[in-house]
Structure 1
Amino acid sequence: MGVWVISEYRETLQRVSMELIGKARELSDELNEELTAVVLGWKISDCADFLIQHGADHVIFIEHELLQHYTAGGYTKVLSKLINERKPSIVLIGATHIGRDLAPRLAARLKTGLTADCTHLEIDPNTKNLLMTRPAFSGNLMATIECPVHRPQMATVRPGVFPMPCANPSRKGTVESIEPDLSDEDLLVIVEKVMKIEKSSIDISEAKIVVSGGRGVGSKKGFDILHELAEALGGTVAGSRGAVEAGWIEKEKQVGQTGKIIKPKLYIACGISGAIQHIAGMHESEYIIAINKDPEAPIMSIADLAVVGDLHKIVPQLTKLIREHKLSCKALIA
């Protein structure tokens, strides 16, 4: 019994882990079971109160010098041993680069199933099994998967799918620290040095303002005007699946069921028709502006402001007006 969230810690707790805590709290309450956050690393005990205040009943710290940096061998060994001993019913992991590497290895070691890249989780009211929903067939349909026989029920969940839970400073919980039996031989790979690469752009899942382009942009060169608009607004550029497949923008910038789920304050869709897979990735944006030649495009029906016209004429004009407005504001302040 019990719901576990494997909370990813890289210098700090990753946002997706906190999003999972919020959703896992709902699942735990429905099952009337305890919610446990499991954190692996070295000298990480400073985040216990934070996890409890956001919904965890119990926090387990697995601390060892060899866990300071992620290695598949080390993490899989200590987690599989602990899960076999404690036998939780549900284990949730963020679908980050680490989570996508760890989860299938862990599921294989535990001889259970894994549903990857979930976008929805709920408890079946009759069986009390976890229902895990994820896109299938390149995002053309949604599949709901159940693991009725084996335990634990495991799922990885995409960042940005669930909201961050609110903190409750009065919440109380318990904390447990475990020092695992781990040696160099268990790691398979030894991390000798970690080199950080500065990101050249904002992660679209964290951006407050996103200017997104689709096939209607016409070419990779056409994205230049979107970059100019994003720069003027202080945002970042993203794209639809069609734009990514055409090679006009990087895969990590893709919005949608097969890309990233985002919730910016402002989303400007340029030349995007609005297939259901794309809308699923951005429909919770606070304010949506759609620019499209086709007034009947699906994206126009969900937009707060729908502009019918040629984006190649409208976007440069919009950028010019924003820049002029910013200059006039600076002049007034001076």
Structure 2
Amino acid sequence: MSDDDWRGVMVIGELDGDQLATCTLELLSKAREVTDRLGGRLTCLLVGEDADAAGEEAIHHGADRVLVDGTPHDGFQAGPLVQPLARLIADRRPEIVLLSATDLGRDLAPMLGARLDTGVANECVDVDLDVSDRKLLAKRQVFGGQLEETLTTPHARPQIASLKPGAAREGFPDEMRFGDTETIDLDLGSAPSIEDTLPAQAPAIETADTLVVGGRGVSTEAWSALEELADEIGAGLGATRAAVHGGRADEDLLVDATGRSAQPELYLGFGVFGAFEHVMAVEDAEWLAAIVRDEEAPIVDRADWALVTDPAQAARELRELVAEDR
């Protein structure tokens, strides 16, 4: 099959209730830019009981066509989705497939690449286009965000990339846009949900309104104070690289330029030193508060508000204050 058989861009969307997830709104904005330069149509795939209701929103945010599978679910695992999505992509032949680098997207992208025998650029901070040979330029940060690499898939199609949530700006909806909605059946009825396979989760790091982050200044023994605070206030929980390497937190909680980025309304950093790669990942926080022992820590200069004290004790006292106020 030649490259000429593949045209257009497909976004694998995600839902938040009966609306598009923020990461999908961001992805559609970037995908619209790429499609306008590349030519062809922008297709958005939505799966879920409320997918049909979100279809119009996808069109207003740039999609030309929305593919809707109304299979009810509480969150699919990536594995069972691979084969039906690969069949769909092979049938529709989009030149570029874009996903959000969420828990699902990070797993799904390389699985699709293996199934479709094509290249994948995962956890990108931006994507661009070389129009001369219709090549996607997928940009990733490496070495703690100090360097940027550009990945391409020059020969195989489709070109697949996942974009970190927060890496693109959500566009403004155009309620005068019109597009097509097509109901499809991916045969997902037997795909297992993650509802019964995973414990209850805190808000995702990328989408949390409030984010509690622990750093090297919080000991392993005191880490539970941050977990309890995050649970009490309904916040996401993250960790710096120093905390992860120190065994205080799992790798999937890492917040830095090579891990997860975040755009919370409120960032609460406990014992965070302020390494460059971490600060870059949270630079879009609306309000940054730092609770540290060392007033010379770099994060103090970047914070909107800083308190020099025992971070773990401050977390415990804040949790108690919130609990008493309920």
- TM-score under structure 2 normalisation? 0.78
Letter in 1 for 2:43: T
**Residues 274/86 of structure 1: CA separation in 2 closer, same or farther (3 Å cut):** same
Q: 2:90 aligns with which of 63, 84, 89?
A: 84
CA distance in 2, matches of 1:214, 1:169: 44
**Structure 1 residue 304 displacement after superposition:** 2.5
Structure 1 position 263, deviation (Å): 0.9
Report the equivalent of 2:283: 283
For the residues of structure 2 that align with 1:268 and 1:194, how far apart are their CA atoms?
29
Q: Is the 8 A contact 2:208 2:264 kept in 1?
A: yes
Whether 1:214 aligns to 2:215 is yes
**3-state SS, counterpart of residue 215 of structure 1:** coil
State the match for 1:202 in structure 2: 203
1:154 to 160, 168, 174: 160
Q: Which has the larger radius of gyration?
A: 1
Does residue 7 (structure 1) correspond to residue 8 (structure 2)? The answer is no
Whichever residue aligns with residue 300 of structure 1, its letter is V
Provide the residue aligned with 1:51 in structure 2: 58
Amino acid at match of 1:202: P
Residues 130, 221 of structure 1: alpha-carbon distance in 2 compared, 3 angstrom cutoff: same
Distance 2:88 2:118 in 1: 15
SS in 2 for 1:135: strand
How far did 1:69 drift?
Answer: 5.6
Match of 2:117 in 1: 111
Unpaired segments of 5 or more residues in structure 1? none
- Residue 229 of structure 1 contacts residue 318 of structure 1 at CA under 8 Å; is this kept in 2? no
Shift of 1:207: 2.6
Report the residue type matching 2:176 in the other structure. Answer: S
Maintained 8 Å contact 1:3/1:24: yes
Cα distance change, pair 194–227 in 1 and its aligned pair in 2 (3 A) = closer
TM-score, structure 1 normalization: 0.76
The farther-off stretch of 49-58 and 165-174 is: 165-174
For residues 215-242 of structure 1, what are the alpha-carbon distances to aligned partners after superposition, in whole Å with 9 as ceiling and x for unaligned? 122x123335545765786645432121
After TM superposition, give the deviation of residue 26 of structure 1 in Å: 2.2
Structure 2 CA distance for aligned equivalents of residues 127 and 298 of structure 1: 44
Gaps of 5+ in 2: 1-6
SS in 1 for 2:34: helix
Q: Quick one: structure 1 residues 3 and 316, their matched pair in 2 at CA, closer, same or farther if it must change by over 3 Å?
A: closer
Q: Determine the structure 2 residue equivalent to 1:39.
A: 46
2 CA distance for matches of 1:176 and 1:252?
36
Equivalent residue runs for 1:1-334 within 5 Å: 1-8=7-14, 13-40=20-47, 44-61=51-68, 72=79, 75-124=81-130, 128-136=134-142, 141-179=147-185, 191=192, 195=196, 199=200, 201-217=202-218, 219-223=219-223, 226=226, 235-307=235-307, 309-312=308-311, 315=314, 319=318, 323=321
Q: State the distance in 2 between where 1:203 and 1:183 align.
A: 25
CA distance in 1, matches of 2:263, 2:241: 17
Cα–Cα, structure 1 residues 317 and 95, in superposed 2: closer, same or farther, change >3 Å?
Answer: closer
- What is the Cα-based RMSD across aligned positions, in Å? 3.9
- Percent sequence identity is 33
